[in-house]
Chain A
Amino acid sequence: MQENIERSGQSRNRPSFRTFLFTASSYRKLAGMSAWLLHRFTGLALVAYLVLHIMGLRSLADPAAFEIYVTTYRNPLFKIAEAILLGSVAFHAFNGVRIMIQDAFYRSERQRQLFYGVLVLTFVVTLVGGLSIIFPYFIAPMLP
């Protein structure tokens, strides 16, 4: 245990695949690590989406082009992607708030509880929002 902490402390300043393995091998850091990794991953994914989004919205200049653009997003596969996007935003947003709370109040002993809180909130928002997104496509047709 002691050794693990020292090892992950040693390489803290240089994230790399090696650092990742060291940190992941330390149980105590696993929750924090997955939170950090997911936060970074969702953040970068959102940046990619944002670039596509802004380029797509050039179609606002032409009503017919805009109508076609939003219709491509009404494909069933895109609806699932939309729910995943919502999940990414929700996790990133709630976890971002957790990071800010933790930085502001130094409640590091609460880290684990706060992270589980983030997961629960993300799950609830993604479930409720995601279901309402896919409802007309996947759920309504199954209803009698």
Chain B
Amino acid sequence: MSSQNENQEVRSPVRFKAFGWLMQRITGVGLLLFLGLHFWLQHMPNGFLATAEEYNSILRELGSTGQEFADAIAEGALKEALPGEHVITYSKVLERLQTPLWKMIDVMLLFLALSHGMLGVSRSLGDYMHNERLRKIAVAAGWTVSVLLAWQGTMAVMSVGMN
């Protein structure tokens, strides 16, 4: 039994795995910080969200300026805030993302989450897919998707307020 274990370890790229293990911890600690901040930012009552009163007046203004908004309100795709609700809204996001530091924070979160998540996915795949070739293909596909998502996400955040 133990000789079987040793064989398995010799076959697998041990150092690469150890690097992944370390990176998972480093990105994990980073995420603790950035995801904690993200949660506070997007959910807790703070100046980066609109209060119910603010949001309802933003909504009235949007409805009177653009046909697209007026239609969305009529269809119920945009709706008034409930009392006490704190709402994510474009003008507030724009206000914050006008500061380069906030953009960097979002991009850091993006990279940390993607690399940490993908390291975890490839480890899980390693546990369940015993066919080496198939697994390598799956992991490569995963990283390719991650790179595309990283590009997509960076573009989305960086281009806010740039036009």
Contacts and interface: CB of A to CB of B under 8 A. Distances in A.
Contacts of B84: 135-136, 140
Contact of B124 (A14, A40, A97): A40
Contact of A46 (B62, B68, B117): B117
A128 B57 CA distance: 29
Nearest to A73: B88
A31 interface: no
Contact of A44 (B35, B93, B124, B149): B124
A68 interface: yes
A110 B83 CA distance: 46
A76 B28 CA distance: 31
B8 A96 contact: no
Nearest to A75: B79
Contacts of A44: 120-121, 124
Given A44-B124, A71-B77, A51 B87 contact: no
Contact of A61 (B8, B32, B88, B156): B156
Given A60-B160, A61-B159, A74-B79, A67 B8 contact: no
Contacts of B45: 132
A1 interface: no
A124 to B, nearest CB: 14
B72 A67 contact: yes
Nearest to B52: A136
Nearest to B9: A13
A132 B44 CA distance: 8
A97 B83 contact: no
B136 interface: no
A110 B120 CA distance: 25
Contacts, number: 105
Contacts of B28: 96, 100
B39 A86 contact: yes
Contacts of A136: 52, 81-85
A15 B126 CA distance: 10
B39 A54 contact: no
A13 B66 CA distance: 60
Interface string B120-156: 1100100110100000000000000100010011001
Contacts of A13: 5, 8
A39 B160 CA distance: 34
A60 B82 contact: no
Contacts of B159: 60-61
9 contacts: A43-B120, A44-B120, A46-B117, A57-B157, A67-B62, A67-B72, A70-B88, A96-B32, A132-B44
Interface of B: 1, 5, 8, 25, 28-29, 31-32, 35-36, 39, 43-45, 52, 62, 66, 68-69, 72, 77-79, 81-85, 87-90, 93, 110, 113-114, 117-118, 120-121, 124, 127-128, 130, 145, 149, 152-153, 156-157, 159-160
